[in-house]
C-alpha cells in the first residue's frame, strides 16, 4: 500500500462511509438536538484541524451553529479551560491518540457538554471519552501523509450537518460524492505531466475561501510534508491585506476556486494574479473562466455543489503534491522528520 494507492482508494472509502454511518449520524443528530446546543467547540491538530476549518464553514452555513476552534494548551499546560456551557464539543483525530485532544473532551464531559469523536480508530482513547463516535472506516492508512482519512473526516462532518438539517436534497448530493471523486481521479496522468514545470519551485502561496479555506490549508500542508516546499495558505481576502506584496513575475500561486458564493471574488483575484503580477497560477475549479486563466488548470466535475467541493477539490491537490514529490526525487511514502501518529500534549 502506498500514498498513491491510498489517494485512489478514496471514492470507495467515501461510498462505504456514507452507507455505514448515515444512520449513526442521524441518531447522533437527534440526540444533539435534544440538548439545545448553541455552538460547537472543536479540537483537532494537523490535517484534522483542516477538516475543522471545513466544519467551521459548513455547520455555520448549513446549520446556523457558530464554531470555535479549541486551543488545547489551555487544557493541558495552562490548566485554564474555558467555560463550555451549551456547546457540542467535537474531537477530530485520525488515530484518536493525541493526549491534548483527549483532554478537551474529558473536560467537556466534566462540564456536562455532549461530546463527539470523529476518528478512524473507534477503540482509541479519544473515542473512549466521547458520548458519540463517528468512525471513518477508512482502513489502515499506511502512508504518513493523510489522504483517505482526511476526506473521511470531511464526509463525516457533511453527514453530521445533513443529519442536523434533514434536507433531502443534501442527502442526494452526498450520494454523488464518490462518483465526482472518481471523475477527478481520472486526471492522474495529466496531473503527473503538468507538475513537470514545477520541478524547481521551493515556495508558493495557496489561496482558497469559504468552504475551500480548508482545502488551501490542506494542499499547502501536503506540499510541506512531502516535498518540503514553503507553502503558505491564505484566504484570498486576507491575502490582499499585506501578503500580496511578496508577489513577483512567475511566482507560483495555487488557487482553489469552484463555483459558488465566493467564486466572484476568487475569479477577480485570479485575473489580478495573471494580468497584474504575471504570476504562475495553478487553478482547481469547475468553471471555464477560472480554468482559462491558469497556467495549469486542474478541472473537477462541473456539477459539484460548493458545500461538497472540498471533498473533490482535494484529490487533484493530493495528486499534484504526490507527483511533484516524485519529480523532486523525494519518497512520498517516507517523508523526513515526521511519523504517522503525533501525540502532542
Where in the sequence numbering do the catalytic residues fall? 340
What residues have CB less than 8 Å from 65, skipping those under 6 apart?
37, 38, 39, 40, 59, 88, 164
The residues that bridge with 230 in the sheet, in sequence order, are 203
Cell for 290? 477560472
Q: How far is CA 25 from CA 32, 62, 90, 164, 297, in A?
A: 10, 16, 14, 9, 36
Q: Which of 104, 135, 161 is nearest to 16 (CA)?
A: 135
Q: How far is Cα 241 from Cα 226, in angstroms, rounded to an integer?
A: 29
Q: Which of 156, 72, 146 is nearest to 107 (CA)?
A: 72
Mapping DSSP onto H, E and C, the string for 160-204 reads HHHHHHCCHHHHHHHCCHHHHHHHHHCCHHHHHHHHHHHCCCCEE
Q: How far is Cα 292 from Cα 90, in angstroms, rounded to an integer?
A: 40
Query: Which helix (H) or strand (E) is 267 found in, with range?
Result: helix 263-275
Q: How far is CA 66 from CA 55, 60, 62, in A?
A: 10, 5, 11
Strands of 230-235's sheet, edge to edge?
230-235, 203-208, 252-256, 280-285, 296-299
CB 312 within 8 A of CB 151: no
Cell for 203? 515556495
**How many residues can be counted in the chain?**
345
Cell for 81? 479551560
Amino acid at each position: 500500500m502506498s500514498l498513491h494507492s491510498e489517494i485512489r482508494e478514496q471514492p470507495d472509502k467515501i461510498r462505504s462511509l456514507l452507507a455505514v454511518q448515515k444512520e449513526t449520524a442521524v441518531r447522533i443528530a437527534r440526540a444533539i438536538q435534544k440538548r439545545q446546543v448553541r455552538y460547537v467547540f472543536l479540537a483537532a491538530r494537523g490535517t484534522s484541524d483542516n477538516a475543522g476549518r471545513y466544519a467551521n464553514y459548513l455547520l455555520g452555513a448549513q446549520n446556523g451553529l457558530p464554531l470555535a476552534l479549541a486551543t488545547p494548551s489551555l487544557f493541558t499546560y495552562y490548566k485554564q479551560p474555558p467555560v463550555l456551557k451549551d456547546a457540542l464539543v467535537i474531537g477530530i483525530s485520525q488515530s484518536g491518540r493525541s493526549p491534548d485532544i483527549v483532554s478537551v473532551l474529558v473536560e467537556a464531559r466534566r462540564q456536562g457538554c455532549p461530546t463527539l469523536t470523529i476518528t478512524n480508530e473507534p477503540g482509541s482513547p479519544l473515542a473512549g471519552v466521547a458520548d458519540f463516535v463517528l468512525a471513518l472506516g477508512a482502513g489502515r492508512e499506511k502512508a504518513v501523509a493523510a489522504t483517505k482519512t482526511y476526506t473521511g473526516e470531511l464526509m463525516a462532518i457533511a453527514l453530521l450537518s445533513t443529519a442536523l438539517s434533514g434536507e433531502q436534497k443534501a442527502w442526494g448530493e452526498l450520494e454523488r460524492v464518490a462518483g465526482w471523486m472518481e471523475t477527478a481521479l481520472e486526471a492522474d496522468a495529466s496531473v503527473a505531466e503538468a507538475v513537470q514545470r514545477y520541478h524547481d519551485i521551493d515556495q508558493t502561496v495557496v489561496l482558497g475561501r469559504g468552504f475551500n479555506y480548508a482545502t488551501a490549508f490542506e494542499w499547502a500542508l501536503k506540499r510541506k510534508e512531502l516535498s518540503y516546499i514553503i507553502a503558505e495558505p491564505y484566504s484570498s481576502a486576507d491575502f490582499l491585506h499585506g501578503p500580496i506584496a511578496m508577489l513577483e513575475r512567475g511566482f507560483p500561486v495555487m488557487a482553489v476556486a469552484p463555483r459558488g458564493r465566493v467564486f466572484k471574488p476568487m475569479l477577480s483575484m485570479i485575473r489580478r494574479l495573471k494580468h497584474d503580477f504575471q504570476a504562475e497560477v495553478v487553478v482547481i475549479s469547475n468553471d471555464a473562466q477560472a480554468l482559462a486563466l491558469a497556467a495549469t488548470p486542474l478541472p473537477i466535475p462541473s456539477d459539484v455543489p460548493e458545500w461538497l467541493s472540498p471533498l473533490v477539490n482535494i484529490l487533484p491537490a493530493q495528486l499534484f503534491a504526490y507527483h511533484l514529490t516524485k519529480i523532486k526525487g523525494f519518497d512520498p511514502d517516507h517523508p523526513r522528520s515526521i511519523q504517522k501518529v503525533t501525540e502532542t500534549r
